[in-house]
Each structure stands twice: as structure tokens, then as C-alpha cells.
Amino acid sequence: MNLADARAALRSARRIAVLTGAGVSAESGIPTFRDAQTGHWARFRPEDLASPGAYRRDPETVWQWYAGRYADVTRATPNAAHHLLAGLEREKGSGFFLATQNVDGLHARARSGSHGGRLVELHGNLSTARCETCGTVAPLPDPETFTPPPTCPVCASPMRPNIVWFGEYLPEDALEAASHAFRGAEVALIVGTSGVVYPAAGLALEAMGAGGVVIEVNPEATELTPYLSHSVRDTASRGLAALLEPDQPR
């Protein structure tokens, strides 16, 4: 499949499913999980900061790490890739589904999920916390005034970051919704993700297995590349623009 065919498939599709990863937010200045471990945090392994065991051993340090990341993403703004996907949702309405591995909330701030389609944050959101006792999810205060840890507004118990950690399962309802959407998609877009984190990476293969066209946008080849219908080798914003922006008159 060439670029023209990929664009034509997107235009004609009524059901589109999208999976996004860290590459989408990179252009907003959001570092990847490991890239964020600089300065003081460089001495920690990922498992020291993002696992249930780490939180049980040292909740204060874990919360300091997440409070810093929360402040960073709050200062960031959605980029062209986020807005292009929100525009695609406006066009496709209820036939549009977006699953993101990102926890920065930038898709929602670009208004994805607000135009008749659905947005699912597979790995959680840095701007919220979850009660350890009753499961209530609540927004964090403004980062300028936030002093962790927060307490539950319902039962006053401690709250943990609302993030899926190493060793934890993705939320079952979110994963089931994503799997259903990708199996039913005429076209699936895989944007800015390395294709190595499962089960999210398996969504592309589910779409292919069900007969859908699967298009990848990523600067580099990934483990998924050999199996997909077409790949656009570019950043998320430029690659999506090539696929989605109207043809220019000649």
C-alpha cells in the first residue's frame, strides 16, 4: 500500500481506531519515562519509582517523582498531532476510537473524546490519584499548590498515583473496549509507539487479523512494521499531516 492508498482508506473508513505512544507527546516536550530520569532521579531504576513494591517501600519518594512529572505535563500544551487526531474524530464521530499509552492528558486537552468518539487512557493519567481503600479517582490540585500525598475526598484514606505500574494489569474495561474497537476498525493508526509494550501493541495485530488496514506513523521501523499495511517514516505531527490534511490544489 502506498501513501495515496493509505489516505484514501482513511477518507472512506467509517470506523477508525488509533493507538498512540510517547512519540505523539515528544513534540510537546514531554520526555519518555526513561528520559525523564535525569538529575536527582537518574540514580533510580524505573522499578524503583513505578511499581507496587516501590510504593509500599517508599511512598513519599514515589509521590515526589510523580508530582514532578505532573507539574511538567501541566506546563506542556497539545501539539499538531493531538489536534489532527481531534479533527479526525470530529470528522468520523462515533466511529472514532483513540487508545493512548500516554499519561499526560494532552489528548483530552486537545478535545479528543469530545466530538462523538471515545478516548481511553490505557496507562492512567498523571493529573489524577486513586484511593487505596475505596478506589475513588479524583483530580490532583494545581501543581503549584499540590503537596503529596493526597487524601481521598470520600473516605480520607491515602491515594496513590492513578498510573498503571510495572507488574499491574491494564484496566480490564479499557482494554476490552480497545480490543473491540480495533477488531472492528476498517482502518487502524499506530502513532508514535515502539510496538514493544503489550498488551497495547497487540491491538495492531488484532486489527490486521480482522481484515483492517493498519497504518503506522513512526520515525523508525518497529517490531510491528513487517506486519502492517503501510508505514509513514516521520514524526507524529508531520506523518499525520501527510495522511490527514486535504490535498493541495495543483
Round the CA-based radius of gyration of the chain to a whole number and report it: 19
Evaluate the CA torsion angle 14, 17, 23, 25 in order and state its sign: positive
Q: Are strands 213-217 and 187-191 parallel, antiparallel or unpaired?
A: parallel
Cα(157)–Cα(59) distance, integer angstroms: 14
> Residue 187: what residue type?
V
Q: What is the DSSP letter of 164?
A: P
The x, y and z cell numbers of residue 143, run together, are: 501543581
Cα(156)–Cα(84) distance, integer angstroms: 41
Comparing C-alpha atoms, which of 62, 12, 90, 21 is closest to residue 166?
Answer: 62
The residues, ordered by sequence, that sit 6+ positions from 176 with a Cβ below 8 Å of its Cβ are none
Per-residue burial over 236-245, b if 16 or more Cβ lie within 10 Å, else e, is bbbbbbebbe
Helical pair 236-244 and 80-92, crossing angle rounded to 10 deg: 30
Cα(183)–Cα(211) distance, integer angstroms: 8
Active site positions, annotated? 123
